[in-house]
Amino acid sequence: MERGEVVDVLVVGAGPTGLALAATLQQYGARFRIVDRAPDRVHESRALAIQPRTLEVLAGLGVSDRLVAQGNRTVRLRIHMSRRTVSIPLFDIGLDDTAYPYLLFLSQAETERILVDHLTGHGIQPERGTELIALDQDDDTATCRLRSAGTVESVIARYVVGCDGAHSAVRRLTGIGFEGLAYPQTFVLADLEAHGIEPGAAHAFVGGSGILFFFPLATPASWRLLAMRPPDQLAPSGGPVALTELQALVDAATTIPVRLHDAIWSTDFRIANRGATRYRSGRVFLAGDAAHIHSPAGAQGMNTGIQDAVNLGWKLGLVVTGHGTPELLDTYEPERAPVGRRVLRFTDRAFTIGTSSSPVIRTARARIVPSVAPLATRFRRIRGYGFRILAQLAIRYRRSPLSAGRTARLERGPRPGDRLPDAPVIRDGRATTLHAELGAPGFHLLLCGSAGQWPPSTGDGLAARYPGLLTVHRLSRTDGNDGMLDRTGRASRRLHVGSSAAHLLVRPDGHLALRGDADLSGVHAYLSRWLGAA
């Protein structure tokens, strides 16, 4: 057995979650390796939708523009019922505070390719065909054995992160439970071409027997088909699904003639709803499907995993490079485990409504949905709230130890733990946004108010004490000579900062750490606690 190098972090699993974690660690200069037991990355679509919040957190890595350029922005969902079709705008309201107010359809294969290209551009190559076969840890390190091409290597890592999916070796070797259930239904996925459905929209065919979907793609085919097999129909074991079978499923579910051809890829699959009993055990963490698996309802799975990775990545990056206190890592599970549990509950309910064979639910799908669906276009406030939930813009960490200086319950504006809203601003005469200006790694201190309210040297001492870890910005309605000019007033309104001086400390993942007035003593105390003496 060969003895390998000592690394800060061993990332096990090179899917979207592991790749996003690796890219975040690279930003902070961590020493890491990323391995995957599969010999190659996926070349099928699998997960296919990227939510606005995921595009926001990936923007800091510099990959979101490439994802958007390759994807398909869908702004409408057409629901086909027995006697009528209803067109519902997607993400048309409630998302005016993000640069990505849409659901982006993009093959998981393309998402992984773009993330891999990003890593290789920084000299990092995922190690394919490399399997974790043993893991032991003590108070200081984790010792892992990796097998690749018949050779077994021992690697010592300060931390290990399991991003290795539903059958996670990291989770199994660490002894973390994975509780839940498997659904009895069998589903079919296929990437193919289809005639008879309107391009540029997602389509759902709703009936008593269930729901069938067509989602628009850009590559490798024009459409992704998702269909449920009848309960009495057993799926064949292994191999692609014949085009004639796919056509039969579509004919039974659709109310308009749809003809399929040129299937690129197809498969049968089953769905489970399970969650890890812990997200951390000593020096081992879980993220993505290793921590939670559920139905594809609402396109939450891959997105939740990528956001797990970014949340954990900046904390690990600061700790292993000596810039953050170890207690930072204690905040990962309290922040992300509740998010995972909410996603499990939401997707379970949505899946049950869409697929249950219960006579009551079948009747509701066939009779009540056609009456209720048109109302979705009328109630704008409810629709906008629902869109924010699906877009994952409503995720917040108000009860986290990292959310300091809690404001009054009824105070307006983002509170500690909330996502910082985006807004247009001007800097050096060019149009930009809050998120773009606050996108660099590390913490960001935003001083809001006129130049007279914040003397020129304000924040310099903090920036000097935490070089590369804290960036100080200024936001003013009247003077942008030394910072950002809020000419439209939208930034100030969304942040709910008035005429008096105010400050906001923003975490590396874009969530608010604390907010206050002209007194920066809270910022000093916060950074001293989480970044130490720097």
Q: Does one domain contain both 160 and 277? A: yes
Distant-in-sequence, close-in-space partners of 329: CB < 8 Å, separation ≥ 6 = 159, 280, 285, 315, 316, 319
pLDDT single digits (tens) 96-130: 999 999 989 898 989 999 999 999 999 999 999 99
CA separation for the pair 449, 423 (Å, rounded)? 16
51 and 172 part of one domain: yes
Residues 449 and 380 in one domain: no
Name the more confident of 428 and 284.
284
Span 502-529, average pLDDT:
95
Note the Cα 513 to chain centre separation in Å. Answer: 20
* Residue 521: CATH number of its domain: 3.40.30.120
| pLDDT of 295 above 90 | no
Mean pLDDT of the region 278-298: 94
Does a structural domain hold residue 38?
Answer: yes
pLDDT digits (tens, 9 = 90+) for 251-263: 998 888 999 999 9
Q: Which residues contact 370 (CB under 8 A, 6 or more apart)?
A: 81, 82, 83, 84, 206
Average pLDDT over residues 277-286: 98
How far is the C-alpha of 402 from the C-alpha of 512, rounded, in Å?
9
Does 368 share its domain with 326? Answer: no
Residue 378 sits in the same domain as residue 508: no
- The CATH number of the domain holding residue 222 is 3.30.70.2450
Same domain, 44 and 127: yes
Q: What is the residue range of 237's domain?
A: 184-271+359-390
Does residue 380 lie within any of the structural domains?
A: yes
**Cα(196)–Cα(3) distance, rounded to whole angstroms?**
59
Residue 187 burial (CB count, 10 A): 19
- Looking at residue 75, its pLDDT comes to 73
* Per-residue pLDDT at 373 exceeds 70: no
Same domain, 262 and 305: no
Whether 95 is in a domain gets the answer no
pLDDT of residue 352: 76
Q: How many helices (H) and strands (E) does the chain have?
A: 15, 26
pLDDT at 481: 67
Q: How far is CA 106 from the centre of its chain?
A: 14
Domain annotation covers residue 237: yes
Give the pLDDT of residue 410: 43
Both 267 and 277 in one domain: the answer is: no
Percent of the chain predicted with pLDDT > 90: 63
In angstroms, the CA 128 to CA 144 distance is 16
How many angstroms separate the CA atoms of 524 and 461, rounded? 10
Give mean pLDDT, residues 93-97.
84
**Is residue 214 located within the same domain as residue 240?**
yes
Nearest-angstrom CA–CA distance, 261 and 409: 56
Q: Do 253 and 193 have their domain in common?
A: yes
Yes or no: say if 30 and 9 are a contact pair by the CB < 8 Å rule.
Answer: yes
Last residue of one domain, picked from the residues 374, 390, 406: 390
Q: How far is CA 339 from CA 19, 213, 289, in A?
A: 20, 26, 13
Q: CA-CA distance, 246 to 109, in Å (whole number)? A: 22
For 85, other C-beta atoms within 10 Å of its C-beta total: 15
| SS3 annotation, 142-172 | EEEEEEECCEEEEEEEEEEEECCCCCCHHHH
Structure tokens at 119: 């890593």
Distance CA 286, CA 170 (A): 8
Query: Mind listing the pLDDT tens digit for each residue in 207-237?
Result: 766 789 999 887 788 999 999 888 777 666 6
pLDDT at 200 over 80: yes
How many domains is the chain partitioned into structurally? Answer: 3
**Average pLDDT score over residue span 458-464:** 90
**pLDDT, position 409:** 47
Q: Are residues 365 and 252 in the same domain?
A: yes
Give the confidence band of 446 by pLDDT, cuts at 50, 70, 90.
very high
Residue 337 CB partners (closer than 8 Å, separation 6+): 279, 291
**Average pLDDT score over the chain:** 89
Q: Measure Cα distances from 140 to 321, 323, 460 in Å.
A: 15, 18, 36
Whether residue 89 lies inside any domain: the answer is no
Q: Is 398 within a domain? A: no
Give the model confidence (pLDDT) of 144-176 as tens digits: 999 999 899 999 999 999 999 999 999 999 999
Within this chain, do residues 204 and 261 fall inside the same structural domain, yes or no? yes
